[in-house]
Structure 1
Amino acid sequence: MNYELRIMNIKKKESRRLVLSLFCVLFSVLSHAQVKSSIDTTNIKIGEQITYKIEVDTDSTNLVVFPEGQTFMPLEVIDSYDVDTTKQDAKFNLIKKYGLTQFDSGAFTIPRQKIVIGDKTFFTDSLKVIVNPVVVDTTKQGLYDIKPIIEVEKGKSNWLRNVLIALLTIGLIASLIYWFVWRKKPLTEEEKIALLPPYDRAKLALEKLDESNYLEYDEFKAYYSELTLAIRKYLDEKVYDHALESTTDELISRLRLLKDGNQIDLSQETIKNLESIFKRADLVKFAKSAPDKELAKLDRQTVAVEIDHVKEVLPEPTEEEKLLDQQYKEAQERRKKRKKMMITTVLVIGIIAATFVGFGIKYGFKYVTDTLLGNDNLELLEGEWVQSAYGYPPITVSTPKVLKRIETDSLNIVDAPVSFTEFRYGNVLDDLSVSLTTASLKNHEANETIDLGEVSEKAITQLEDKGVENIFVKTDKFVTPNGAEGLKTHGSASFPYPNSDKFVDGEYIMLHFTSQNIIQQIMITYHKEDEYAQEIVNRILNSVELKPAAE
């Protein structure tokens, strides 16, 4: 009996000792660190924010690692606040807050979150959240049709100014060509006289001789030169086509021959009068004879009369002669028009060539040629670029075109369950392609590191799966302008032509970044030796900024 009581007392003491030991261990753990989690509400509407708070009490010597990335799925992290630290005695109180939301209605559970304190791991409790749809009271708020798509106005550019300058330049050149080439210029006095018939020109020459002051100043040589020239020109055009260069004797002999041959019915008196005037003019011009002024005036009247006599005896032109004359005039007009067109063509070609050479010297002949003929990558480079943030944590990047969201089920860059978000312009078979992918790893432990080298190798394998061959690989450290570090994989490769067995030499660049359970990739492919594509790529790379999730 006493033995049994002794055994029972021993067991009671051992039980008390075990409870006390467990209590001491628990007290030691709790005294070392305490973790609490809470949310400000368990009931929200779609799109409203929940503030999730984790509070940690720990010694100052312990390193605390809070959850980062999309570890709160199915809720989305829309903000990650800085850690608020306060000191209480020998311990620190750390408070980390997250802004969460959900855009679908229903009941959701925030999963347990892992907090690493020193060399120990703690887990928070899971929390249930109700997301309610927004209910519209149609008795108070009417329903409306869906609004049409609104065209977004693009930013201002200089295209209108450039068009106006081009139009003004073309207009100025066209005006100058019209003014100096095509415009009907006012006829000079000589041109107007040249268009008159021979008879009218001869009569006009005599009238001008009357208006002169030759006789008043005894300038007989000039007077008789003008007088005989008037009748000689008329005879040259209507009677004998060598009258101007013939001597007096030659001309008079020709007139007599024409009369004797019945080619022109000139009277002997007319021929004699003309011979007398021509010989007197020769004496004045070559022997410096000075006839009486009245005789000179009489000679002028005689020439006028004889011109009328010659006109009277000239035969009327036949219809054939009239037609030939009309054809001659039309041929003259056509020659003038062709000459103007040739001058215009030469001027335009010269202006275009001079403009091309001028701009080529200033900007480069390849640039000018590509601008005139059109080059897709040049248009992208000089077009309006778009700067936007993609994925989470957000990557800010400037691109020639907006990267469009692409639905993708898988991307072979890690051997783990992942969810993907991809944005893309073009594809690897195009002259230029840009893609940005964010991969969120599921069931990833916080203390597990992600080897970006392995991620890069799998990305290269993915390129090979798309038909890319002869891939040359180089890797370098990459640092964004805002200090984020990642891995740059780049090199040359042979890219296949669409629907063809041919390949084109190209270049590729892949940037990889990681943050906790997130892998982000930027991939750019472009054709080799395309200077515009190279400028586009450099501009994209210089614009990459990775915003940390905690900002």
Structure 2
Amino acid sequence: MFKYLLSLFIFISTFGFSQTLTSSLDKTTLALGEVAVFKIQILDLDGKNVQIAPRNELLPFHFEMVNDSIAVQKDIYLRSVKFAVFQEGKFTIPEIEIKVGDEILKTIPYEVEVINTAKKGDQINDIMKNKEVELNVQDYWEMYKFYVLLALLIIAIIILIIGIVKWGRKRKDSPAVTTNQTLKDLEKLRKKNYIENENFRAFYVELIEITRGFITKQYQIPADVLLTDDLVDYMKNTNAISQENEKIVEDIFLRSDLVKFAKTIPTKEIMSKDFTEIRDFVKRSTKDVEAENLRNVSVEELSESDKSKIRKLK
């Protein structure tokens, strides 16, 4: 008799105070994209904590979650998962492990078959027929205005770059720029006080070096590599420099050679005069350049004002 009572007590303790886990799947055969519902229910929780996979992570990756809802009360845990599968074949919902308090519970596995219900040759009809719409200029502008504006911007940038390059090169190589830079170099030479200190050799070396560089840039004459006699002949043959300026350059260059080879010693007055004449020659050089540019234009293309200008320069 005691044994029967003990067995009854164990049965009641086991089943009367444990949790009840149930699961269900409303469909085991699905069409592509059809929604099915998988449910889990746990009864007699008695306030115990339920540990299970988080929301939207309960089922394997083939199952696309549509909705995952959870309801928990003191004695009941309910979970309803709506899902769809977008690939043909057979897929398994494995047994799911759930921890309730210190107890481990597991659901039963389910097999789901997904089929394509569309038949070969089925005609697919649009819900609404395509409607032809006539487009006007405004419509085309709205469609392509970004590309038009982008093309115009690129063209403007290219033109700007070309203009900057040409303008910058012109400014850099223009006669006025060369003249101004040479005048600055001459002013630096003057401030060295070579004339006052009678340092005639250093004075003429630097004066001739500045002048050679100026002639090379301003007149495109290779004065930086020619000897004095060759330079004089070159100037006379090209007629790029006016006779007045040509005479000044010739006299000062010849005197410089005599000074450098110690054949003559110039006075302060001569040094000052040579410096002033070279500076004036640099200032007048733009007229030589203008005259040369006009000579390169055919007479038929010249206006009366240009012809008058040439006669004055000559």
Question: With structure 2 as the length reference, what TM-score do the two structures score?
Answer: 0.39
Higher helix share: 2
More relative contact order, 1 or 2 (CA 8 Å, 6+ apart): 2
Higher strand share: 1
